[in-house]
């Protein structure tokens, strides 16, 4: 299918906030199944694990190793996929990685022991590493500065809501003998469907289109090498955001939620899995509200609004996590409501932090930026948290682990985000000035 080359509509060359890329919401919707299946890889594993460990005789620490392996693979492969996207095109990379992931996930269903499962899951993670950094780069090209929060919010909210409906279904299937194998096959079929949808329906936007940057003013996609990484870290805001993501303890909550409720408070796996529904709804509402708030606050307070919202999200999550994990409420209904509240506050983050990073990086550097932020920083943090929680959970219990990671660390995270008030305004001005300079130089007589 030929790529769409329609030019975005602009009122001025320098003002990216008024840019509208044709059919941007339809193009984004086509990518939603890819995000859904990428995100479902680890969440479905967590849901199936109670059944898997009975079949294969695994410990709680094994889940941490599996999840950490997935993230470590992402640290290596995410930047490689972004590099390939710069050379071969983002559409080809999304299709190829989706097919790879589907085949490897289907193979997981045939695993006969822990080593086989670990190796096959690692192979599936190679494909899963491509989606997020590439799609975030696309979002920045589809949407302007005043609508990126809503775009990220609706995308992640819709995907999470769909995932929350799939998870209980797979949990029930996992309750049957060998049900976890069927769960992997269902997920593989969804992954293949997402790849085919991207192949036949996705239309690629031009690089920098969301900023009103003329296509001829965009340099070729840089190689993801030390020079490119060094250019990214010259932005103080980007550097602080990478450190902030390394301290994002809430990445751990979804992985161990079901096992935590089973081991700490004695619920059955099927009962504990019920928290997935309110968690999915909470995250959906959080991402949508976060995206809308981000855009509105940004328009009213363009230099400090996003940073203040980001801080608030961390503090509110810490409070909800303490109530949801440190008190024995006795009723799964209460736990479900509190886990839904935790998910809501966690969901505020994507609609705030993704547009924040887009605002301080040049269009040609956004793919590498999200490779570093998501595939490296977030993945490394997730790997450390998963390994640590799995190992420490066997020794001191998941409740103590959750206290330190979901409450205490997240309070510190919110305080740390305050440093962004000192760097964000100047970094945004630098990017906008560079974009305006490029367009002016190109159109000057």
**Per-residue pLDDT at 386:** 77
**Per-residue pLDDT at 166:** 79
CB 183 within 8 A of CB 43: no
CA 362 to chain centre: 21
CB 28 within 8 A of CB 291: no
**Per-residue pLDDT at 18:** 53
Mean pLDDT of 28-47: 87
**Per-residue pLDDT at 444:** 65
Cα 206 to Cα 1: distance, rounded to the nearest angstrom:
16
**Per-residue pLDDT at 17:** 44
Mean pLDDT of 319-345: 95
**Per-residue pLDDT at 445:** 63
CA distances, 398 to each of 118, 346, 348, 372 (Å): 23, 19, 25, 29
Domain boundaries, the chain: 20-203+224-437
The answer, yes or no, to whether residue 312 has pLDDT greater than 90, is yes
Cα 417 to Cα 129: distance, rounded to the nearest angstrom:
26
Least-confidence region, from 153-162, 286-295, 325-334, 424-433: 153-162
The answer, yes or no, to whether residue 197 has pLDDT greater than 90, is yes
Percent of the chain with pLDDT over 90: 58
Three-state SS string over the chain comes to: CCCCCCCCECCCCCCHHHCECCCHHHHHHHHHHHHHHHHHHHHHHHHHHHHHHHHHCCCHHHHHHHHHHHHHHHHHHHHHHHHHHHHHCHHHHHHHHHHHHHHHHHHHCCCCCHHHHHHHHHHHHHHHCCHHHHHHHHHHHHCCCCCHHHHHHHHHHHHHHHHHHHHHHHHHHHCCCCHHHHHHHHHHHHHHHHHHHHHHHCCCCCCCHHHCCCHHHCCCCCCCCHHHHHHHHCCHHHHHHHHHHHCCHHHHHHHHHHHHHHHHHCCCHHHHHHHHHHHHHHHHHHHHHHHHHHHHHHHHCCCCHHHHHHHHHHHHHHHHHHHHHCCCCCCHHHHHHHHHHHHHHHHCCHHHHHHHHHHCCCHHHHHHHHHHHHHHHHHHHHHHHHHHHHHHHHHHCHHHHHHHHHHHHHHHHHHHHCCHHHHHHHHHHHHHHHHHHHHHHHHCC
The model's confidence at residue 156, banded by pLDDT at 50, 70 and 90, is confident
CATH class, range 20-203+224-437: mainly alpha
Cα 198 to Cα 177: distance, rounded to the nearest angstrom:
35
Cα 33 to Cα 257: distance, rounded to the nearest angstrom:
24
Cα 7 to Cα 215: distance, rounded to the nearest angstrom:
9
324 vs 157, residue with greater confidence: 324
Helix axes 253-265, 60-88, angle to 10 degrees: 170
Helix axes 253-265, 379-396, angle to 10 degrees: 10
Nearest Cα residue to 346 out of 314, 323, 319: 314
Least-confidence region, from 115-124, 168-177, 365-374, 414-423: 168-177
The total number of residues written for the chain in this structure: 445
Per-residue pLDDT reduced to its tens digit, 180-189: 899 899 999 9
**CB half-sphere exposure, 252, CA atoms < 13 A:** 31
The answer, yes or no, to whether residue 198 has pLDDT greater than 60, is yes
The answer, yes or no, to whether residue 255 has pLDDT greater than 90, is no
**Per-residue pLDDT at 416:** 98
The model's confidence at residue 382, banded by pLDDT at 50, 70 and 90, is confident
Specify which of 106-110, 265-269, 392-396 reaches the highest per-range mean pLDDT: 106-110
CB 212 within 8 A of CB 8: yes
Nearest Cα residue to 46 out of 285, 372, 315, 390: 390
> What average pLDDT is seen over the chain?
88
The answer, yes or no, to whether residue 5 has pLDDT greater than 60, is no
The answer, yes or no, to whether residue 132 has pLDDT greater than 70, is yes
CB 254 within 8 A of CB 164: no
49 vs 305, residue with greater confidence: 305
CB 263 within 8 A of CB 394: no
| Residues 71-84: b if buried by 16+ CB within 10 A, e if exposed | bbbbbebbbbbbbb
């Amino acid at each position: 299918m030929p790529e769409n080359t329609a030019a975005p509509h602009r009122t001025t060359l320098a003002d990216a906030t008024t840019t509208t890329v044709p059919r941007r919401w339809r193009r984004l919707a086509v990518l939603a199944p890819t995000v859904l299946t990428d995100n479902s890889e680890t969440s479905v594993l967590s849901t199936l694990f109670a059944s898997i460990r009975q079949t294969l005789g695994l410990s709680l620490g094994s889940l941490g190793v599996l999840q950490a392996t997935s993230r470590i693979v992402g640290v290596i492969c995410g930047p490689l996929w972004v590099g390939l996207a710069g050379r071969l095109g983002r559409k080809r990379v999304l299709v190829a990685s989706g097919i790879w992931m589907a085949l490897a996930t289907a193979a997981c269903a045939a695993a006969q022991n822990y080593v086989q499962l670990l190796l096959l899951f690692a192979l599936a993670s190679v494909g899963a590493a491509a989606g997020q950094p590439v799609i975030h780069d696309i979002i920045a090209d589809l949407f302007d500065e005043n609508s990126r929060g809503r775009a990220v919010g609706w995308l992640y909210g819709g995907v999470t809501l769909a995932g929350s409906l799939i998870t209980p279904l797979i949990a029930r299937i996992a309750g049957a003998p060998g049900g976890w194998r069927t769960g992997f096959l269902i997920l593989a079929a969804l992954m293949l469907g997402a790849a085919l949808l991207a192949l036949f329906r996705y239309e690629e936007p031009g690089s920098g289109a969301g900023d009103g940057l003329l296509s001829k003013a965009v340099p070729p996609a840089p190689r993801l090498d030390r020079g490119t990484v060094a250019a990214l870290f010259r932005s103080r805001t980007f550097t602080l955001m990478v450190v902030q993501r390394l301290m994002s303890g809430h990445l751990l909550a979804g992985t161990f939620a079901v096992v935590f409720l089973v081991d700490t408070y004695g619920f059955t796996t099927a009962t504990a899995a019920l928290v997935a529904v309110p968690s999915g709804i909470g995250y959906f509402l959080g991402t949508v509200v976060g995206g809308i708030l981000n855009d509105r606050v940004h328009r009213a307070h363009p230099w400090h609004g996003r940073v203040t919202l980001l801080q608030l999200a961390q503090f509110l999550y810490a409070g909800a996590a303490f109530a949801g994990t440190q008190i024995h409420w006795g009723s799964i209904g209460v736990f479900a409501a509190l886990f839904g509240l935790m998910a809501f506050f966690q969901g505020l983050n994507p609609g705030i932090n993704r547009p924040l990073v887009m605002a301080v990086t040049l269009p040609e550097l956004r793919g590498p930026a999200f490779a570093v932020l998501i595939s490296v920083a977030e993945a490394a943090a997730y790997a450390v948290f998963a390994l640590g929680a799995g190992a420490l959970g066997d020794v001191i219990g998941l409740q103590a682990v959750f206290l330190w990671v979901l409450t205490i660390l997240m309070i510190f995270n919110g305080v740390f985000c305050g440093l962004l008030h000192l760097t964000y305004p100047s970094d945004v001005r630098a990017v906008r000035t560079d974009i305006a300079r490029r367009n002016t130089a190109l159109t000057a007589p």
